[in-house]
Amino acid sequence: MTALPAPFAGTAQHPKVPVIIGAALFMELLDSTAVMTALPQMAADFGEPVLRMNLVVSLYMLALALCLPISGWAAERFRPRQVMLLAMVLFTGASMLCALASSLLELCLGRMVQGAAGALMTPVGQIIILRWSSREQLLQAMSWLALPALVGPLVGPLLGGLLVTVLSWHWIFLVNVPICLLGCLLVLRHVPDFPARKVPPLDLRGLLFSGAALALLVLGFESLGMGQLPRPVALAMVGAGMLCALGYLWHARRHPHPLVDLSLLRLPSFGLSHAGGALFRLASAAQPFLMILLLQNCLGMSPLAAGWLVVSGGAGALLMKLLAVPLVRRFGYRRVLSGNALLSALGIALCASFDRDTAVWLMALILFVAGLVRSLQFTTLGAVTYRDVPGERSAAASSLSAMSVQLTMSLSVSLAGMLLGALAAAQRRSETSVDDIAVVLVLCAVVCASSSLVFRRV
């Protein structure tokens, strides 16, 4: 497919619905990244060791992973708008619980509810867009959903640092309350209330296998990359997760209506976009983590200065919102995805050249352009993934996509952390150096470029 088949010729749909859904997803992703900067202050307030504050992140990831498989089924069974509103209300209540927490236990409970609500938001938001948008306008609609995943992880640390410095860590959660309430009002007024669909009974055994597999793999990968648990324990979790995944595969082949429908991978565009997208995310998802580490720990920038610099990538992602549709109309999905993967690889490789002599304006320019091309890739990928998916299978496709994204992003950061540790250990150093990060970035660039070979088959 080299050009869009008479797309964008129909009547343009108003972007109000995808903007509202995208804003809700942005709030959730912003919160999940902003909280990282507040962990030391939380530890001081609760009188807990800083290392123990990893529970705040790990339990959020656990709840997210456990609830992702059920999101598509719930959206079809109870109507997507109702599930979206429930998720937003839960997120609001959990945010208040986190802000009012007087102990680590209360904070962890609130974070688990936040994780469960976040697991519903992204897949259900995609389902609403897929049912709302015409196939011709799918790329334009999906571009709004690509923005939260790109800009949230970049802006989150900066916002968290500002709130912690100027006010307190409680405000990271309190700012969610008015945003959520306004979001619920906008959803009620502007998002269509699509009817429920008849779905088979919930596959409880499939939920057990898939939820356990996703939770163990995500937590295991995160622990390997961040050192949250002893390495043997983290490896055991990854092994157990793989066994649960194999158990789900065995179960899904025998169940008439499995919870996670892996047969969707046989659809040409869905299967190829997942294979190429997995490689692309594996290479690019760790870049914000690596850049913050490079700028702060190795080049000595303040958290605020490094945050502002990394945000330049988010500015590029916002600008690409205006350019994505004309570019895909001009060059087609295949050329955009395969060529842009190479440009993204070049952007990652250029980041490997940053050192103390690199001008700040040049760093900002490179990160800005890298944000442009990464945004184009995720926007185009989000649209082409669902082009061959029948409407009645959109919920299953959305759940499977969300699980794939969560796994590959966790694996990306995990592998980056392990490689950095191995490089430092090989030279008997306890600290990561600029050269270590440069080596990992170059490897990421190679993996990113390899995804171009997959996208050429779209």
**Residue 219 and residue 318 in one domain:** no
**Residue 353 and residue 429 in one domain:** yes
Q: How confident is the model at residue 150 (pLDDT cuts 50, 70, 90)?
A: low
Whether 191 shows a pLDDT value over 80: the answer reads no
**Residue 363 and residue 322 in one domain:** yes
> Does 5 map to a domain?
no
Q: How confident is the model at residue 109 (pLDDT cuts 50, 70, 90)?
A: confident
CA dist 236 and 458 (Å) reads: 37
> Does 1 map to a domain?
no
pTM of this prediction? 0.70
Structurally, the chain folds into a number of domains equal to 3
**Residue 140 and residue 231 in one domain:** no
CA dist 89 and 95 (Å) reads: 10
Whether 355 shows a pLDDT value over 60: the answer reads yes
Which two structure tokens, joined as six digits, stand for 445? Answer: 């660039």
**CB distance 341 to 276 below 8 Å:** yes
Q: How confident is the model at residue 2 (pLDDT cuts 50, 70, 90)?
A: very low
> Does 337 map to a domain?
yes
**Residue 278 and residue 323 in one domain:** yes
- For the domain that residue 445 is a member of, what is the CATH number? 1.20.1250.20
**Residue 390 and residue 350 in one domain:** yes
Three state DSSP letters for the chain:
CCCCCCCCCCCCCCCHHHHHHHHHHHHHHHHHHHHHHHHHHHHHHHCCCHHHHHHHHHHHHHHHHHHHHHHHHHHHHHCHHHHHHHHHHHHHHHHHHHHCCCCHHHHHHHHHHHHHHHHHHHHHHHHHHHHHCCHHHHHHHHHHHHHHHHHHHHHHHHHHHHHHHHCCCHHHHHCHHHHHHHHHHHHHHHCCCCCCCCCCCCCHHHHHHHHHHHHHHHHHHHHHHHCCCCHHHHHHHHHHHHHHHHHHHHHHHHCCCCCCCHHHHHCHHHHHHHHHHHHHHHHHCCHHHHHHHHHHHHCCCCHHHHHHHHHHHHHHHHHHHHHHHHHHHHHHHHHHHHHHHHHHHHHHHHHCCCCCCCCHHHHHHHHHHHHHHHHHHHHHHHHHHCCCCCHHHHHHHHHHHHHHHHHHHHHHHHHHHHHHHHHHHHCCCCCCCHHHHHHHHHHHHHHHHHHHHHHCCC
| Residue 365, pLDDT score | 86
**Residue 174 and residue 284 in one domain:** no
Look at the chain and count its residues.
458
Q: How confident is the model at residue 6 (pLDDT cuts 50, 70, 90)?
A: very low
> Does 198 map to a domain?
no
**Residue 146 and residue 181 in one domain:** yes
Q: How do residues 24-51 score in pLDDT, each as one tens digit?
A: 777 777 776 677 667 667 777 777 665 5
Whether 209 shows a pLDDT value over 70: the answer reads yes
Q: How do residues 325-342 score in pLDDT, each as one tens digit?
A: 778 778 877 888 888 888
**CA trace torsion 430, 432, 434, 438 (10° rounding):** 130
Does 389 or 1 have the greater pLDDT score? 389
- Of 193, 228, 245, the domain-final residue: 193
**Residue 183 and residue 316 in one domain:** no
For residue 183, CA distances in Å to 12, 189, 353 come to 24, 10, 42
Phi, psi of 191 (to 5 degrees): -90, 125
Q: What is the mean pLDDT of residues 409-433?
A: 74
Q: How confident is the model at residue 161 (pLDDT cuts 50, 70, 90)?
A: low
| Residue 391, pLDDT score | 62
Mean pLDDT, all residues of the chain: 75
Q: How confident is the model at residue 151 (pLDDT cuts 50, 70, 90)?
A: low
Q: What is the mean pLDDT of residues 41-67?
A: 71
Range(s) of the domain holding residue 180:
14-193
**Residue 297 and residue 440 in one domain:** yes
**Residue 188 and residue 146 in one domain:** yes
> Does 8 map to a domain?
no
Q: What is the mean pLDDT of residues 359-363?
A: 84
> Does 7 map to a domain?
no
Whether 216 shows a pLDDT value over 50: the answer reads yes
**Residue 342 and residue 427 in one domain:** yes
| Residue 5, pLDDT score | 37
